[in-house]
Amino acid sequence: MKFTILFIGLFCFVGPIVNAQEQTPVVSPKDSTLQRVFEWNRKYVQRYKEDADLSYTSPGGEIGAPSKYVINGRLTTTYMLIGTEKLPVALAIIPDFTVRVRKERSAGVRTPSFRLGGTFYVRMDNRERDYRYVSLSFVHHSNGQDGMALNPDGSINTINGNFSTNYLRLKYHFAHQYYKANSRSEGLFHVIGFEWHKWFDYEKALENDYGFSRILYDFSWRRYRQQELWRLNVSLSYAMNSMKEYDLSIMKKRLNAELAFHYALPFMHNTFLMAATGYYGEDPYNIYYRDRYGYLRLGISTGILRGADKQR
C-alpha cells in the first residue's frame, strides 16, 4: 500500500515535468538567431512593396501641359516572384502603365506609356525601422507605336511615332522611423539612384536629344496612426549625358522635379487625396519628351500601404 501511494505521488510530481518538457522544446541560441533573420527577411519584403511608386487617377491630368487632357491615370503594382523569409534577397516584376486621355473629339489616348521591368532587392541591414537596402531594375519603356519617330521637318511624330528605350536603374534606399505621442509614428525615407540607358537598344532618333543617364533622389515623409495618414514626397532627377543643344548647366531641359502631398481621410482605406506640383524639363511620357513645362496634378492615389508599427 505504501509503495502504491509512493508510486502515485512520484507519478503526479514527475509526470507534469516530463509533459512540460515535451510541450516546450528547448530553443538553442542558433535557432533563435535564425528565427530573427527570417523575421527580418519577411518584413523587408513588405518594405519593398510599400516603398514602390503610387498609382493615381487625375481628372484634367497635368494642368499646365502643352496638351489638354480629360483624365490621366497611372497604374503600377509589384508582383513579388521571390520573397521568401529564407533569403536576404528578393525579385519582383513591376508593370507601370500611364495613359493620358486627350481633350479632343475622340478623347483618344494616342500614345500610352508602357514600362515593364524586373527589380532585384538586397537587404543591407538587420534593423526593421531604420532600414537599408539596394535595388537594381531593368526596365523596358515604349509607347506601342510603329510609325517613324520624326516627321520630315525634324519635329517629333506624336501621332503614331515610335518611342522605345531600355535602361538599368540602381537605387540605395535608407530610412529613419520614430515614435511620437498619441500612438503616432513618423518616418523619413530616402532614395539615391542612377539611371542608365546607353548599354541597351533604343530609338535612334533620341540620340543627343534625350536624358540617357540621370541621377535620382527621392524623399518621403510619412505619418501613421493605425494606418498611414499622409505622406509628402519629393522627387528629383537630372540628366548628366551630353546633348547637342544643351550643356550640363541647362536646367530647363535636364531637371525633372515634383512635390506631392497624399492625404487619407479617416474613412479611406489604402487611398489618398493627392495634390502634386512640379516641372518637367523632359516629359517622362515617352514621345512627348521634348515638352518642358510646370504643372499641377490633382486626384486620388493608392499603393501598398501599412499601418503604424508597434513600438518595440
Q: Give the model confidence (pLDDT) of 214-266 as tens digits.
A: 999 999 999 998 889 999 999 999 999 999 889 999 999 999 999 999 999 98
Where helices occur in the chain by DSSP H, the ranges are: 2-23, 29-50, 251-254
Checking if the pLDDT of 180 tops 50, the result is yes
- pLDDT for the residue 161: 92
CB-based contact 95:77 (threshold 8 Å): yes
Residue 307 banded pLDDT, cuts 50, 70, 90:
low
Length of the chain in terms of residues written: 312
A 10 A CB-CB count for 290 gives: 14
Predicted model pTM: 0.85
In the three-class reduction of DSSP (H, G, I as helix; E, B as strand; rest coil), residue 280 is classed as: strand
In the three-class reduction of DSSP (H, G, I as helix; E, B as strand; rest coil), residue 192 is classed as: strand
> Which span out of 55-64, 106-115, 126-135 was modeled with the highest average pLDDT?
55-64
In the three-class reduction of DSSP (H, G, I as helix; E, B as strand; rest coil), residue 308 is classed as: coil
Of the chain, the end-to-end C-alpha distance in Å amounts to 57
From the number of C-beta atoms within 10 Å of its C-beta (0-12, 13-18, 19+), residue 281 rates as buried
